[in-house]
Amino acid sequence: MIDFDEEIARFQPSLEVEEIEDAIVKADLTDMTDIIIEMMKGLKEE
């Protein structure tokens, strides 16, 4: 049986849209564009 008091105590609300956007923007994620730019910089230096 589900203990609702226990479930409510463990409940953590999800992030709001604005908070998710901030979290994603602040994350240092390398995508394919970043990799290609770095490769092009390396080719120019040679």
Instruction: Tell if the pTM clears 0.75, that is, is over it.
Output: no
For residues 6-23, average pLDDT: 82
Q: How far is 25 from 12, CA to CA, in rounded Å?
A: 22
DSSP 1-46: ---HHHHHHH--PPPPHHHHHHHHHHS----HHHHHHHHHHHHHH-
Kindly tell me if the per-residue pLDDT of 15 is higher than 80. no
Q: How far is 32 from 40, CA to CA, in rounded Å?
A: 12
User: Tokens 């923007």 belong to which residue?
Assistant: 25
Structure tokens at 43: 């080719």
pLDDT tens across 23-39, in order? 777 777 777 888 889 99
